[in-house]
Structure 1
């Protein structure tokens, strides 16, 4: 058989008939013989000192198995946040260069912040696809601008648009592990089973990863694959079956102080930290364990038990993928890289929270609310996150955590395993490396070069450097000499063993309050000038890996050199302007595919609208108008719903009556119901929210207002709402004619609770146009409840 390069002249013979001709075929794209498979296993919010493979107390036997067959990289850095690190790991470019200064939901109209990863920054999946690989993505994505995550597209920044041939997972930053928001390839799909039927997302993701590999292997067993496997673990919610939780009962009763000492000892034993290293000091935001009450200890210990169970369960299901690869004879020739995207997360606050949406709405987490739900921690009734005492402990031996650029936020566990390509077994590597180094490392290991063009688009330079030269040479020098960091105005820089850090708003939450500064405050030019004059710290990592001894006053010249170097790197990689974690970033007006509108029309049965694209009804007057047909035998079900049991609203019919419920972050449910049944036939059903007061964001309370129900234009019920959800219902979107995935009001109905009548259309109006007339005002006073 004659094959030729596509685009080249046809080398066969074309005669007048077949007997005068000879064939030739365009050559299919094939990978090299015995080309290695590649797996990226990206963990979420898992601290340096949490997994047993790095000395932690969360058991990870399958990751230990990989490390024993490969290498631990003990000096790997990330960006301190999820989307930015994932972008770095898949492209080899710095996160500001990609437009990923933060998570995609916080995009702003500047190149460093817009969330639009240009196609000049090719993904590893795009590179390997052109080299004859199958490419699969499973799990968390969080790399598409929110305004492009709807079923209206465009889809070119979804996984299938960035070089992956198959995808199964969730597009956003997190999801309910029991009731996930699932996307299959380019379309949303319902959850295939319920928790009662044994469903859990980690099981589902492992099943799909195995299925994708198996499908390809059946048809082309010699064809290599790239699997990007990104679980939601250990991001909140930490959902896991009870059998895993019970295994850890009592294991964390010693508290976070003793946990750190125990883990630090383990880390020294594993050679992860130098034998003469010191443990970082107590964080001023974390109380001493011995100062807590018995009730506090009980609640906090349970939180960590559930987290550890979630991590081990995740490890177990990833182990199923490894077992399958071993079964088909592919494990030894698979280059596996394991990395967490940032340090442990402090988003649970000092007490932890049964519902992480409280954090995003600035609602105070209380010990009492957590205690009330302590036995339910990790089950479907919670969206749980542990106390930041465990965050601090989870980043042992370093200080601080996710979102900050101290080493607790940016130094992460990394494992590389490739038995056929790496001779070393069970060794540590201490060379400095960063997430941007993964792509050039893989390319060098596979004997490939970064392409100059991908699908006709000229490619930007890869900014990372390979560490493949360290695979079998523990003494090889690092090639990564300088690396800047910036997250929400918190800055640092590494250069040849030195680190300078400028914490913002301060080195803790408590410390800057004396100046009136706080996390999420704006960073003005005046504040930046103050920070640059006296806010920087200096550390020499060879002597002080945990950043304990600040040398800024002892070595002012070195500090000034490092500050200037940060600004040089910021200019090179497009970091400016600096932007903080101000809540207002969530609500920035962004360009949308659809033209700006205030009225949204929905029809029954469509796929859910992504939560990031659902109309924002917070702190404003708004209404729902449903035009329906009620058959003679009656009807029930959801007309329109947004959110789930952890926050949202639902407009529904039950027992013949019209209802609306506003679920305030899982804490309270404000329901209003029609006193009389809905008539049969063509009916117009309407809900209005009339704003009566301004929100108090500092207390996590959205605008007070009045809920009102109308049937055929007549006011039938009214109720005052003392406050509402101020900013975010949750991570489940909006659905018409049913409640997607999980119920907003599980005590009232079970999802999907599909409407059994006929919905002609449902209109959601945020223009502020409400029904106003004197008769309605008078009737309202008569119907208050």
Structure 2
């Protein structure tokens, strides 16, 4: 006899008697997908520009991405928000980023509805929607959709992936991480990488392995159950980490410089039909130096940085190819709707010269080119945290102007591929219809024959803002249904409407042409001047790359576009317009607990994320460990923060107590005890007393005296001429071990303390001194 089932919420259809022999059972019906329901895979690249994939004209080899384009559709008119977290919120909810409270990354959240960084539960995630239709849901890779102060073991967890409809998660919560020593979370808890770089470990390969294991594990039990995989690489965001052999494939390929790259890519784009035949290449960026004007050493260094980036992208393509091969092997690729996109244009966070260590950039401590050249063979490896120069950023967004964080097309127009052999007849075709990331959720629902839910877990849902473009899959001539789209990012504004585009840059069309620095607040007076004089107008239906400003000759059209921007701004919580950086970073935000000046840490607990770690820089502080040294002695880390890119560590080695401060990988300041630590129970203490003021402009934190104590008796002292001024990135703090890369080369990680470590207390006193401008640059670079 077959089981009788009934839908949840309906009456029990069986019979309930006094005993089971006169009763009839029935079962609540499990949530099952429709027979043959397709799978869904999002592949979200990070900081990958319009002109960086092979199928978009780039000289960089991306054969698996190119194969998706050849077997599916390439869209040349997809738009993002110009920044990471806001774009990802649009992709997963189908709502505009301000309506998602994601005006920027959560590190710069402010107390306005469009800016507070907490995505409303009324704006359901696609993962939550598909769960209601019997899908397995997997999130693998970068998240960055939770306020940074909520990333610790204290939670709350309701905005982590498992709180927003994903059944499994493996990846990192923040904006970036080392590809060699990543900060990893598995479901709702921290984990260490399964191997080391010496063993061949790399994050991209690990993420692909985990995605395959999630899918394979479920298919063993439920082979017909569809899945949604949101696969978000750390690539190609900085640090540009890749095995050397992948970078070496490009030896000499970029010696011609960024202008040559742009011209080659633009010619290929016209040849492939990625841009219209009448398209013109955008102007030369005034912030980018002439390649020929660089010294031979500067050209050699810049070329190598691009070789590393290209190898990183090709390496990423290779490992995503393994995921595609797996789907093909299990017979699921043809029935998988796969969409590949980047979250914004190529990134300018490497600065005008690029860097071997982003931490130097964040701390206003750029290294001389001589130092960079000494590390040229290490670029991409575990000892660097590298990023390329602005010239390659500009070239990576060919044919457009500008880059990430700005609402010119270089910031908001990105690669987008669609592949679904069972659902789309067309193959190898280009689609020119206008689209935005908010259109992806309604497109998926339309393609799968599903309706957006009225409620999710009892919460009434807001309407979707996007419109579907599934009707374009097999009709290249179909009209776009997305007619109007606003943009705003850090005060930089734009609006698209039926082939016209208006842009109001802030603080200017380029840094060289601005009369004020990036991150300057916009006052009411500024806004009046901007709206009167600074909007630009482009007829992008005929001027693909924004090369002819028609503002002066079509003021009537421009006024119409400006008015429309304000209509959209009012509708989607864009106001108040905020161009500031410093003020947003310093804005007081709700905390889980009141401010602390004393932290008690214990070994064998999770690493504290930087956002919730004690802030010890530029202030007097102490670190006190309660230990027990066994017979024969002990060694290991008591407390550390940061990585080999920069940080500090308090440890025991060779029977002595040590403290070492790694200043942006350039120098290490040390103090060691003058006597050994005897057996038994002891209090081991480090104190730092500032002796001067920090010099943020020259990249130096406060000088000070470092002192060691054993059982409150002085045991060592040294004067540090300066310390790290702003922050460590990565900046996690760990008690009892040094996971990942060693902060200093004095020991091999994880160098766990071998005695008994009871507690470590960090005590903060005095006024905290910070350089908020530099911290702002760091947070913006991490998204």
Q: TM-score, normalised by structure 2?
A: 0.96
Q: How does 1:394-473 map to 2 (within 5 A)?
A: 394-473=396-475
Distance between the aligned counterparts of 1:494 and 1:286, measured in 2? Answer: 27
Q: Are residue 319 (structure 1) and residue 321 (structure 2) matched?
A: yes
8 A contact 2:212–2:323 mirrored in 1: yes
Aligned residues: 766
Matches within 5 A, 1:336-347: 336-347=338-349
Partners of 1:374 and 1:719 in 2: how far apart? 33
2-structure distance, mates of 1:59, 1:377: 20
Q: Does 1:79 align with 2:81?
A: yes
CA distance in 2, matches of 1:624, 1:301: 44
Structure 2: tracts of 5 or more residues without a match: 769-783
What SS is found at the alignment partner of 1:114? coil
Report the Cα distance in structure 1 between the residues aligned to 2:387 and 2:606, rounded to whole angstroms: 29
Superposition RMSD on alpha carbons, in Å? Answer: 1.5
Indicate if the aligned counterparts of 2:344 and 2:404 stay in contact, CA closer than 8 A. yes
Cα distance, 1:550–1:425 mapped onto 2, change above 3 Å:
same
Alignment match of 1:357 (pick from 355, 359, 363): 359
Deviation at 1:578, TM superposition (A): 2.7
What SS does the aligned partner of 2:180 have?
A: coil
Query: Of residues 87, 92, 95 in structure 1, which corresponds to 2:94?
Result: 92
Work out which of the residue numbers 370, 374, 382 in structure 2 matches 1:372.
374
Of 102, 119, 122, the match for 2:121: 119
Which residue of structure 1 aligns with residue 592 of structure 2? 593
Q: Which residue of 1 aligns with 2:735?
A: 736
Supply the distance in 1 between the matched residues of 2:583 and 2:702 (Cα, whole angstroms).
16
Is the counterpart of residue 766 in structure 1 residue 764 in structure 2?
Answer: yes
Distance 1:588 1:719, change over 3 A: farther
Deviations 1:656-713 (A, max 9, x none): 1111112222222211212222233221111122223333333333333332222222
1:567-599 CA distance string (max 9 Å, x none): 221111111223335245445432222332111
1:479-558 aligned within 5 A: 479-512=481-514, 515=515, 517-558=516-557
1:777 aligned partner = none
Within 2, Cα distance between the matches of 1:530 and 1:615? Answer: 43
Partner of 1:192: 194
Which aligned pairs between 1:118-267 and structure 2 lie closer than 5 A? 118-267=120-269
- 2:665 aligns with 666
Q: Cα distance, 1:149 vs. partner?
A: 0.8
Aligned-residue offset at 1:365: 4.9
Residue equivalent to 2:753: 755
Write the distance in 2 (CA, Å) between the matches of 1:576 and 1:744: 44
Alpha-carbon offset, residue 722 of structure 1: 2.9
Aligned equivalents of 1:729, 1:511: Cα separation in 2: 32
Give the secondary structure class of the aligned counterpart of 2:471: helix
- Secondary structure of 1:321's counterpart equals helix
CA contact (8 A) 1:99 1:117 kept: yes
Secondary structure, in 3 states, of the residue corresponding to 1:638?
A: strand
Q: Please say which of residues 102-111 and 524-533 is displaced more in the overlay.
A: 524-533
Tell whether the 8 Å contact from 2:624 to 2:685 is kept in structure 1 after alignment: yes
Q: Which of residues 21, 33, 47 is equivalent to 1:31?
A: 33
Between the aligned partners of 2:239 and 2:81, the Cα distance in structure 1 is 22
The separation in 2 between residues aligned to 1:686 and 1:769, in whole angstroms, is 21
- In structure 2, distance between residues paired with 1:149 and 1:504: 32
Tell me the equivalent position of 2:48: 46
**How far apart, CA to CA, are the structure 2 residues paired with 1:283 and 1:320?**
38
Following the alignment from structure 1 to structure 2, what is the Cα–Cα distance between the partners of residues 521 and 249?
A: 41
Q: Cα deviations across residues 505-542 of structure 1 (Å, max 9, x unaligned)?
A: 11111111xx3x01122333333333222221111102
1:621 corresponding residue in structure 2: 620
Partner of 1:57: 59
Distance in 2 (CA, whole Å) between partners of 1:237 and 1:541 is: 34
The C-alpha deviation readout for 1:356-411, integer Å capped at 9, x for no partner, is 12233333354233212100000001001001100000000000001111100000
| Alignment match, 1:705 | 704
Query: Residues 356 and 384 of structure 2 are in contact (CA less than 8 Å); yes or no, is this contact kept in structure 1?
Result: yes
CA distance in 2, matches of 1:592, 1:492: 34
Flag the 1:377–1:665 CA change in 2: closer, same or farther, 3 A.
same
What is aligned with 2:773?
none
Measure the CA separation in 1 of the matches of 2:666 and 2:615.
21
The equivalent residue for 1:775 is none
Contact 1:73 1:413 in 2 (8 A): yes
SS at match of 1:607: coil
Structure 1 length as normaliser, TM-score?
0.96
Within 1, Cα distance between the matches of 2:283 and 2:645? 36
CA-CA distance at 1:236 after TM superposition: 0.5
Deviation at 1:636, TM superposition (A): 1.1
3-state SS of 1:371 partner: helix
- Following the alignment from structure 1 to structure 2, what is the Cα–Cα distance between the partners of residues 121 and 728? 34
Tell me, yes or no, if the aligned pair for 1:181 and 1:732 is still in contact at 8 Å: no
Rounded to whole Å, the distance in 1 between the matches of 2:654 and 2:737 is: 16
Supply the distance in 2 between the matched residues of 1:581 and 1:720 (Cα, whole angstroms). Answer: 38
Name the CA distance, whole Å, in 1 between partners of 2:614 and 2:412: 35
List alignment gaps of at least 5 residues for structure 1. 771-785
The aligned residue for residue 581 of structure 2 is 582
Deviations 1:7-64 (A, max 9, x none): 2111111122222122211111001110000000000000000110211122111111
Partner in structure 2 of residue 687 of structure 1: 686
Mapped to 2, the partners of 1:367 and 1:479 lie a distance apart of 51
Question: How many Å separate the matches in 1 of 2:296 and 2:570?
Answer: 52
> For 1:537-570, what per-residue CA distance to the aligned partner results, in whole angstroms no more than 9, with x for missing partners?
1111022111111111111222222122212211
Task: Give the SS at the match of 2:414.
Answer: strand
Contact 2:701 / 2:725 at 8 angstroms: preserved in 1?
A: yes
Instruction: Name the SS of the counterpart of 1:511 in structure 2.
Output: coil
Q: Distance in 2 between matches of 1:560 and 1:688?
A: 62
Q: Is the CA contact 2:355–2:366 (under 8 Å) kept in the aligned structure 1? A: no
Give me the whole-angstrom Cα distance separating, in 2, the residues matched to 1:763 and 1:581: 36
Q: Is this contact kept in 2: 1:67–1:426, CA < 8 A?
A: yes
Q: Which residue of 2 aligns with 1:654?
A: 653
Give CA-to-partner distance per residue, 1:59-113, whole Å, 9 cap, x none.
Answer: 1111111111110011000011111100110000111111111112222222222
Partner-residue secondary structure (3-state), 1:336? strand
CA distance in 1, matches of 2:192, 2:384: 21
Q: Give the Cα–Cα distance (whole angstroms) in 2 for the partners of residues 736 and 272 of structure 1.
A: 52
**CA, structure 1 residues 404+744, in 2 after alignment: closer, same or farther (shift >3 Å)?**
same
CA-CA distance at 1:756 after TM superposition: 1.0
* Matches of 1:762 and 1:522, distance apart in 2: 41
- Mapped to 2, the partners of 1:648 and 1:529 lie a distance apart of 45
The 2-side partners of 1:599 and 1:268 are apart by 62
Contact 1:121 1:459 in 2 (8 A): yes
DSSP 3-state at the match of 1:629: strand
Which stretch shows the higher mean deviation, 674-683 or 578-587? 578-587
Higher deviation after alignment, 219-228 or 64-73:
64-73
Q: Secondary structure at the match of 2:719?
A: strand
Q: Deviations over 1:292-312 (max 9, x none)?
A: 221111101100111011111
- Structure 1 match to 2:780: none
Specify the alignment match of 1:780 in structure 2: none
Report which stretch shifted further, 719-728 or 531-540: 719-728
- Asked whether the 8 Å contact 2:409–2:545 carries over to 1, the reply is yes
**Structure 2 Cα separation of the partners of residues 726 and 277 of structure 1:** 47
How far does residue 456 in structure 1 lie from its aligned partner after superposition?
0.3
- Assess if the C-alpha contact under 8 Å between 2:522 and 2:580 holds in 1: no
1:246-325 pair list within 5 angstroms:
246-325=248-327
| CA displacement 1:619-669 (0-9 Å, x = unmatched) | 222221111112231111111111101111111111111111122222222
Counterpart contact for 1:364–1:699, Cα < 8 Å: no
Equivalent residue number for residue 781 of structure 1: none
| CA contact 2:619–2:767 (8 Å) conserved in 1 | no
Shift of 1:156: 0.9
Distance 1:582 1:201 in 2: 31
Matches of 2:762 and 2:522, distance apart in 1: 37
